[in-house]
Chains A and B, each alone.
Chain A
Amino acid sequence: MLDQIGFPLVITLRIAVLSTFVVALTGIIISYILARRDFTGKWLADILVTLPLVLPPTVTGYLLVILLGKNGVLGNLLYNITGWTILFTWEAAVIAAFVVSLPLMVKTTTAAIESVDREYEYAAFTLGRKELETALFITLPLARKGILAGIVLSFARAVGEFGATLMVAGNIPGRTNTMSISIYSAFQAGNNELANMLVIILVIMSLLSMAITAKLVNSWKI
C-alpha cells in the first residue's frame, strides 16, 4: 500500500511544484502587462487567459489533446523535432495544471498590481530608476501579498487538477496516476482504505500550505 500512496504523492508534488513555478513566472509578467499597459487587443488577451477558469476541465483537456497530439499543431512540431509525443506523460499533466491554474494567478496578481498606487512608481522614476527596476523593487514587493495568494491558489489548483489531467495524461499506474486520479480509481475499485489514506494526506497538505501562507503573510507589514 505504501507504494500505492508514495508514487501518486511524489508525482503530484512534482507536477504541482513545477507547474506553479512556471505559472508564477509567466503569471507575474502577464499580470504586470495587463495592469500597467494599454494595448489594442488587451480585452482579448484578458479573455484568453481567463478562459480555462470558466471552461469545464474536460473541455480544456480535450483542446489540449488536439493541440498536443501527434497530429496537433504543437504535438506534430514536437514529434518532428524530437520524435517524442508528450501525451500520456507526466509532462503533459504539468501543461494541464499550468493552463488551468494560470487564470487564478493572473486574476489575483493583476488585481494586486493594480492596487499599488502609481505614485510610488512615479516617485521611483523621478529618482532615476527605470521601469524594470521599479517593477522589481517597488511594484512587485508592494503587491507581494496578492502575488503569494495567487501562487497558493495556483498550487492548490494544480494539486487538485483532475479533468484536464485525465484527458492529456491518462491514468497510467506508476506513470501518471496523480493523487486526485488515484482517489477516483481507488474509490471505483472499492479500495476504500487506500482512498481514505489518500484523502487524509491531501487534506493535511492543504491545511498545512494554508497555515504556512497565513503565517508568512502575517509577518509582512505591507
Chain B
Amino acid sequence: MDFRKRYYSKKNDKKKGIDPAFLLDAKFEAGNELVVLFGRSGSGKTTALQCISGLLEPNGGKIIVNGDIYFDCHKRIDLPVQQRSLGYVFQNYAIFPHMDVKKNIAYGLKGWKPEDKEKRVAEMLQMLQIEGLENNYPSQLSGGQKQRVALARALAPKPDILLLDEPFSALDMVVRMKLREKIKEIQRELGIPILFITHNHVEAFTIADKIIIFHDGRVQQTGTPEEVFYNPKNKHVAELVGLTNIFEDTVIEDKNEASGILKLKCGNLELYADIPDSKLKEKVTWGIRPENLRILPLDESEKNQDNTIPATVKSIVNKGASKVLALKIAEHRNLLIAELANQFFEDFDIKVGDECLVKIVKGKIVIF
C-alpha cells in the first residue's frame, strides 16, 4: 500500500495552490499478520483505513490487497467499496439497531443460499462465542457482546482483509483483554491480514505482529513491537511508545570505540551510554524509559558514580502496581519521570520534597 490523501482547510485552497492543511502519505506492507497502526488522534490512522476500504478516495498512489488492485492512480482504478473484499469494524460498533444479531451477521451475505447463510451465521456465532444471542437486539447487548457481533458481521462474508478502527476503546479492561486474545486467535485461524488501529501503547504492544507508527500523516517507523518500543527511530516514535524522558540538543563529547562507550553532554549533564548501531549525528537526542531509572538514597559515596545525579522529588502518583515519580534535577530544566514497582517503596520511604539520587542505567539509554 502506498497512497496519499490531501485535506484542504477551504474548498478553494486547492485551486489557489495553497498547501493542504493535512497530508496523509502512507506507505506500508502487511502480510498475513496482525498489523497495528499506532499513533495519536489526528495522525492519519483512520484516514488510512478509510482509503483502504474505499470510503475515501486517495489523491494518489496504489492500494493492492491480496493481488486485487483496489486503487491505482495511474491506471485510474478505484474499486467501489462494495466490490472490495474487506471487513470493517468501527469504533462504535455500528451494528444496525433495528436488526437482531442474526440479521446483522447475515447482512453481508447477499446472494448466499438461505441454508448456507444459516450455516455461516451459526459458524460466526460459535467463532465469536455469542451463541444464544442471535435473536437479541443490539440494545439488549453489552459493549463486549456488541463488538463480538460487529466482528462476526465483518468476518461473515470471508473478507480478504480485516480493518479494525480502535475497536476496543469503549470497553473495560477485562473485556478488552479477552477480545485482544480473540482477535489474535482469529488472525491465526483465518490467516488474513488484520489492520488494527489503536492509540493505546499497551494494546499495540500486546497484540501486534508488526507495528506501523503514524505521526502527522506519515509512517515514522515499522517493525516488531520490540524493535519499535526499545529502539524508536526518532523523537515522535519515542514519545508515542512511552519513552517519556527525552533530551534534545545533546553533543557527543567522546566516542570510545574500544570500550563501546559514548560520552554525552546535555546542558550541564554528563552521561555515559553504549554506542548505538545507527549512525550518529553531531547533535543527538537521547531518552530513557521511566522504568529504567533507579532511585537511590542520597549517599555521598554514590554521588560521584557515573550517570548518577542528585534530584528532588516533585510529585508521586500511585498507579496501583507502581508509582510514578517526577524528579527535578539540578543539571537540566526538564523533569525526569521514573516509574518504580510499589515493592520498591517498602524498603525505601520517599516523599514529595525529599532529595535522592537518580541513576540513569547506561545500557538502557536510547540515542537517535
Contacts and interface: CB of A to CB of B under 8 A. Distances in A.
B139 interface: yes
Interface in B156-213: 157
Interface of A: 117, 119-120, 122-130, 138, 141-142, 221-222
B88 interface: yes
The range of chain B's interface size is 20 to 34
Residue of A119, A128, A129, A130 ringed by the most chain B CB atoms within 10 A: A128
A222 B98 CA distance: 7
Contacts of B97: 142, 221-222
A141 B107 CA distance: 15
Interface in B6-61: 53-55
Closest 3 CB pairs of A and B: A127-B108, A126-B88, A119-B94
B96 A120 contact: yes
Interface string B120-158: 000000000000000001010000000000000110010
Interface string B79-105: 001111011101010111110000000
B55 A124 contact: no
Contacts of A128: 82-83, 108, 110, 157
Contacts of A119: 90, 92, 94
Contact of B107 (A127, A142, A221, A222): A127
Interface of B: 53-55, 81-84, 86-88, 90, 92, 94-98, 107-108, 110, 137, 139, 153-154, 157
Nearest to A125: B81
A123 B94 contact: yes
Contacts of B107: 124, 127, 129
Nearest to A126: B88
Nearest to B82: A128
Nearest to A130: B82
Contact of A129 (B84, B94, B110, B153): B110
